[in-house]
């Protein structure tokens, strides 16, 4: 995997990993993941020791919001990327005692077929994760550092205006499960992007 750049977002533990795609007249080729780059490479030392135990894929239509989900026991980190389409990825720090506790970051993740790079976003354990799809036919790939455990998974309602998320589109699709997540409690009030 040819890692081109790694940069942190406003919450330093949330990272974007940009890697090379090799386009030609047929389309493109990319090596999306190589264990040795993540385990021993100098470009992503924050990934050392992270093992991906589950991979999920989602497909969504424009305006869909999924999340904000987080898990403990076991704690789960996520490596997420857009395979097709355009989405905005959102992370909310739910780590008690963290200097960025209650803060949100967002990252725009469009994909075009002719770009010379693609991106992963790394959300370490302790972050609630969600996204909104901005185009139809959006496909995402998620790699998880822990298997899903429904007994220790929770979420916050992404439509809660107190989160301060300025979703680019009206929320047209949200699952019944996600709409039942609780609204933000007072300790997160006033969170802004």
Residue 75 annotated to the active site:
no
Distance CA 43, CA 170 (A): 37
| Cβ count within 10 A of residue 108 | 12
Catalytic residue, chosen from 59, 142, 144, 181, is: 142
174: tokens are 């949200």
**Of 76, 78, 77, 81, residue with least CA distance to 18:** 81
**Of 153, 149, 165, 160, residue with least CA distance to 183:** 160
Q: What CA–CA distances, in Å, run from 42 to 45, 52, 163?
A: 6, 19, 36
Cα-trace Rg, the chain? 16
Distance CA 171, CA 168 (A): 9
Strand partners, 77: none
Catalytic residue, chosen from 69, 86, 144, 181, is: 69
Residue 28 annotated to the active site:
no
Known catalytic residues?
69, 142
């Amino acid at each position: 995997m040819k890692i081109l750049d790694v940069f942190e977002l406003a919450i330093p533990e949330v990272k974007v990993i940009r890697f090379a795609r090799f386009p030609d007249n047929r389309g493109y080729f990319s090596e999306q993941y190589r264990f040795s780059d993540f385990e021993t490479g100098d470009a992503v030392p924050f990934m050392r020791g992270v093992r991906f135990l589950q991979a999920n894929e989602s497909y969504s239509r424009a305006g869909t919001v999924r999340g904000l989900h987080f898990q403990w026991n076991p704690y789960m980190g996520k490596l997420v990327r857009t395979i097709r389409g355009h989405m905005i990825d959102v992370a909310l720090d739910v780590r008690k005692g963290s200097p960025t506790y209650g803060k949100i970051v967002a990252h725009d993740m469009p994909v075009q077929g002719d770009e010379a790079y693609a991106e992963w976003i790394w959300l370490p354990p302790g972050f609630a994760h969600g996204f909104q799809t901005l185009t139809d036919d959006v496909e995402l790939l998620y790699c998880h550092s822990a298997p899903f455990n429904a007994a220790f998974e929770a979420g916050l309602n992404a439509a809660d205006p107190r989160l301060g998320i300025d979703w680019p589109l009206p929320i047209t699709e949200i699952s019944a499960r996600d709409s039942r997540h609780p609204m933000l409690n007072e300790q997160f009030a006033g969170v802004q992007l």
